[in-house]
A and B are shown apart, each in its own frame.
Chain A
């Protein structure tokens, strides 16, 4: 038995458990591959302060075989790192930092390569150029057992058509489908949540690429890195921090290892824990650490700084929604940053609402109502806005990345269901997603998004998060409700006025018949009445 015990590499483990990474079926594999590529590209561009230009191409080679290419205009990768980033699992820059980014673990893109290699036997091809260096093209394979990259080919390109950027190319077994949760859907939602990026998307067998132009020319500010917040640290982690610290005094340890703890706060915590301020952190015993942990929970400490967060921003959310939804009304609401387990996060909600196909009524300053026939969709075949009798589309984003799967298991969805939308003019059966021609966008920006699985498909239901989402939904909902009520008022007023036009002539006929009026006298009376009636009606 003992001889059968053997170390397993992470690559091997994931080769057998690929569903954990979002490669459970060929359709999802295609999406996950693209998603990982685009996430990396966007992160890279933003880190370099560059407005992203991302290209996505899908080429169908055979019935079930595709080549996926994702390229960007990011800063590029230095040659030494290229093979590791794409050929070694759990290699990344983001896992240890408390800073908001799309990627977290350093698994995604190499897992995509791994999947491609397993299904086609071919490695990935990476082309990258930094502004100073030369364009390099590498063929990389992954050694399953050793979790190490194997470079299969290396070539210098003299004439790459861009100054800097990266291009990732992989062949894989996959299925392409349209509709909900498709690559098309993902690209479109990404365009909504990243209005500063231009996306060129070439679906399989398409004549030309769909281009989602950027609506904003500002690169989102690079979020800062922060120290952990005392509330977010569990006992075990606290003990590890005590062991590892360079501080010699407990009071110094608290001040230096945590954010939002000054000398005064540190002393307050220590006093509450009945410890000495000059105790050696490394000599704190388990019981004392426990007392310290409890003291931290009882002390009032202000919320972590939010410079580490990069919300999309109300203006950008509006731009994103307006760009991709053919709606009549848009609203956004942003919650102040909050904390779950010491991780700062911020919730933003946007709502787009419209009556597809129906006419639009506008009230001018004199209170006249004009009816405009609505123009039909412009942008895309896949419209985000459904019909009035369909469930509202909920677009979930974590750090600007669309979450397409496991909607029902997601904290955001639960918050949507738990909000009473009837107050805001949408119909809703108890405990479910409301019905109506609307899109609800929910974005969570956080240094660490608590996903329910490594495939990053749903956000775990922390009460703090769900509460914030609900509050944001309610705020946006109130604005939506006000709009819907006004719209209904205008519609009923319009109907009433058309009543006047319909029936006033009959008042005229009645008068004419009884009093023997001439046609002109009749017209005059009707015109007078109409004038009086309409000036008597004010629209609030």
Chain B
């Protein structure tokens, strides 16, 4: 992009640096003392097992209780701003059908106990392989061990203990981050401070680690832009768009991972930065990616509290954008699965049901019968999106969808 083609809007932005940038800082999250949580976790494991033993020796059938993890068991309140777990619980009683799962649950809890006390961790995949040493009780596929892990997490969410605290960490890392942000980490070996300046990552980016609570944050940015696709993120990064608009860019890569959501949440809550989402205009982008980022998901309802970004706003692409930016001929028809997802959201999703603006937008999309990708703006030139579309939208953040 040649300087000659800079828009007047950008010129005004250029003037901004003259004003002294406000530096926002956040210390590592005081997680109530890591040691404390560790005790809570160990205590919890102990208690669950002790109760099973007691009931068994009394000649009764032991039970394990966990919240039901589904969209049907969440409530949404605009004030709290995220999906809260309802009061439906499922009880797993030890019987012939559940004896295998019951045994596996206890053995995974035993593994958790070992990891918490030994300060080690296991990915879900590793946990699956650990089970291979259990003979008959081994998991056949990782899907099975993931389900049991989710159940354990649900069970312990009642005690405010997350999967990460039980030392089962996700396989996938977080998204990429660039912009005027400094992340302060520590060397796990030496304990020395490491400062990652997200402005000096060259053509690369800072990668959100699987656990983010121990990070210190410093930023002079004005807002955070969460981007669905890696391609769009690279385009904006390549043209140093974050510098022009003084913002932090976060790539979610589809539905954001827990670490990414936690990281964006910290930017939003701890640094008090507005968060805008820029995703495809299709039911998946709206109902899955954006919804999960903002209020969490049904399946992870027990942890949404710690992972949601209630202040996030939806910048685009909106169904109205398709009309306003003349993208009709750059769209694709909605697939049956898209239509089902959209209708399902209107009918069953407590978040969209509580938001009249969203209901209107989704209905509009269904009526138009098309979806548009972020990349669709390339119709008007490769950099139309960063020169025209985003600046135009950013002029009116109040017009963003909630």
Contact = CB atoms under 8 A, between A and B. Distances in A.
Nearest to A496: B96
Given A503-B136, A506-B136, A537 B49 contact: no
Contacts of B114: 513
Nearest to A531: B59
Interface stretch (B50-58, B174-182, B213-221): B50-58
B99 interface: yes
A531 B59 CA distance: 8
Interface string B23-45: 00000000000000000000001
A537 B113 CA distance: 34
A507 B102 contact: yes
Interface in A487-540: 496-497, 499-500, 502-504, 506-507, 509-511, 513-515, 517, 524-525, 528-529, 531-533, 536-537
A514 B52 CA distance: 11
B103 A504 contact: yes
A511 B49 contact: yes
B136 A502 contact: yes
Contacts of B106: 506-507, 509-511, 514
B183 interface: no
Contact of A503 (B57, B59, B100): B100
A503 B61 contact: no
Nearest to A514: B49
Contacts of B94: 507, 529, 533
Interface string A129-160: 00000000000000000000000000000000
A528 B46 contact: no
Contact of B95 (A510, A517, A536): A536
B266 to A, nearest CB: 34
Interface residues of B, number: 32
B61 A506 contact: no
Contacts of B249: none
Q: Say whether chain A's binding surface is mostly helix, strand, loop, or mixed.
A: helix
B60 interface: yes
B342 interface: no
Contacts of A536: 61, 95
A503 B97 CA distance: 11
A16 B221 CA distance: 112
Contact of B103 (A506, A517, A525, A532): A506
Interface string B99-122: 110111111011001100000000
Contacts of A499: 96, 99-100
B53 A515 contact: yes
A507 B99 contact: yes
B327 interface: no
Given A510-B103, A511-B106, A513-B113, A529 B46 contact: no
A488 to B, nearest CB: 16
A525 B96 contact: no
B134 interface: yes
Given A506-B134, A515-B50, A528-B57, A500 B96 contact: yes
A374 B253 CA distance: 61
B104 to A, nearest CB: 7
Contact of B59 (A506, A514, A532, A537): A532
B61 A515 contact: no
B137 interface: yes
7 contacts: A499-B99, A502-B136, A504-B103, A506-B106, A506-B107, A507-B99, A510-B105
